[in-house]
Structure 1
Amino acid sequence: MTRRRLTAADMGHLCTGAMFVACTIDHESALQYRDMTLGLIELNGEGPLLVSADDLDPAAMTTSTGFVNRGLMFSEMIPIGDEFETALNLLQGRLGVPLQGIFPLAAASVNAMVPVSVALQTGLPLVDADPMGRVFPLVSQTTLALAGMSAGPIALTGPTGETAVVDVVAPARAERIVRALASELGGWAATASYPVTAAVLQEHGVIGSISRLIEIGQILDSAQHTQAKYAQLTTLLGMRKVIRARVTDVEGLSRPSVPGLPDRPSSATLVDEAQGRIVRLEIQNEILMMLVDGAIQAVVPDVITMVRPEDASVASLDDLWVGNKLDLISFPAAPQWYSPEGRALVEPMAMHVVGHVRGGRAR
């Protein structure tokens, strides 16, 4: 069971862990939300209350909060700060019952930081769980969807203050509608979705995901040598450093395109100069697949990320510039994603990026 007040130090570690788990282009948004949250903690005199789902009444209604974007990164049009409160109020009105806890739509990147500041603004407890355990590009790719839970009703607030409430059940349909609305609302939307009881979240969510990000950040933010950090991450995550390689080619970074999908695929090629191995990364919002000499080393749902070898600081997709040397790392996602149903929902074929992966990952 978890019940404690998060501190300013926790915020820094949470942000580091959130960026490590999601190797994306836009780390700036997570940093902005970290700073916003630190300001709120200073103003309030205390941090948000972190609780386990089983700390709440089993019938207590909870909901996820998170950004959904379509063509605009949040750092390009910074939120005013009340967008999620508005979405939560709209959702409560539609449900007809009060919300008693919030959790991240994805425990990674900026969406891991959002509910922390929202918890401070609203006084709601932050539940130590999420429905992804990492980040996936589609709203429909959640463990709650795997369990047959409805994604809606979903409340949205755009950067101009316009709002909408969508009464949608099927998560796949919710993905298309919410993504289209995000575009119409101004490029992104603050959303409250997947309203479920604490009992359902405890049974079908990824439990302890916020605490895990803080632990990751504590390791990476420490003054230890890079190899010592890797050893601790291996114990915590089952992590393995796949290869240290230098970038030799980048075929464009992901930007929005086809409706219903967040962006089109792109690729990067790196070379392990010590052994001459060729590494290829397939990217759509984040790294979906890593191949070494043509053999698959890691593929979604595995988490694939990058750090800078000199100090194990978190790298982003912006670090994929020709000549740069990076450590490429992978580790397993939540167990739910390795079921046949989980793989069918999140494997690259489901995201229209690369063909079906046959025979699993190479070892």
Structure 2
Amino acid sequence: MEQLTCVSINYKKCGESARSRFAFGEETRSGFVQAHGEISPVLLCTCSRTELYALCGVNDGLRLLAELSGVSAAEVEGCAMLYSGEGAVRHLFRVACGVDSMVVGEDEILGQLRTAYAFSAERVQLSHHVNMIFQSAVATAKRIKTETAISKTSVSHATLAAKLAAHSAPEVSVLLIGASGKTGTSLLKNLLSYKNVTVRATMRSHSGQAMLLPESPRLTVVPYEERYSRISCCNCVISATSSPHTVLTAEKLRDCCAGEKLLIDLAVPRDIDPAAAEIPGVTLCSVDYFSGLAEDNNLRKQDSVEQAKQMIEEDIGELRKSLVLHERLPQIRRSGALSDLTAEELLFRLKKKLSAEAFGEVVDSILNIEKE
């Protein structure tokens, strides 16, 4: 059976600055996937993790991620969590359902995972093995979200950032940079849910995306180029773009940050120059800051996490059987191994090979077929 490998650079072992070296843009990811289609690669890149899933050995996975990021394989290994075989499958399932997230049960990761999978599937022919694994992970995540309370109270970086901003002053004026992205869209929705918040939203792209933003008397769309001039009349700035470069430099912020300012950076790599934290009156919060705020949410969801893990194990068991059947059924058909056997003869052969418990389950399953 083909073996899945996962090389995971995530918040558990790697800080923001280290993770930013593994934040790849669309063009880079597209080139990588197309260059290595034979191993069915899927690259998941979010603000808290970059993960490579592929049909290769662990060392090959480390080497490929090292080449893509421009750092040595030893450096990648030093900050990576490595999974192979069923361990990689289990990790993928846990990521998909939000069990492995910084904010347990957050909804955004499932959409991000589906997007990453589709991104690869649109560019190369993924193996049946990888397709089955990813589709099963998505199906399990949906089942867990429906049958457990893990996502009942939706919490994410966006909800936590919006709450922090809304409670920073009696009346809050927010400059939101990157409102058209997935995180930005979620931020905008959450910010506008607070009646004391008004928002000036900027977008780097000017392709009519402003028409997709919600209508609200507390929302104004402003040109991205005016971002610095708009800061002076806001007491909070939140940035969540996918830019590979700094969006707000400390040098320019010094000229427009008079008085108390809350700066929230939800981008990896960072949108806001870390040196901005040294400006008098400025409080700068980045992605990892919210891990502490998420602890209460995570503790309250421990029962749901255990329930989700049990469901994951059940579904992985079903997946293993499906993969074995898909791999070996053609061989069985070609060999004609079953064509001359009666049901009784097959049972006697299985009796010799299986444990008493396993054989009993097979017999019970056969007896139950007529009842279904």
| Fold shared per TM-score above 0.5 | no
TM bucket by the smaller chain?
under 0.3
TM-score, scaled to structure 2: 0.24
Pick the structure with more strand per residue.
1
The structure with the largest alpha-carbon Rg is: 2
RCO greater where, 1 or 2, for CA within 8 Å and sep 6 or more?
1
TM-score, scaled to structure 1: 0.25
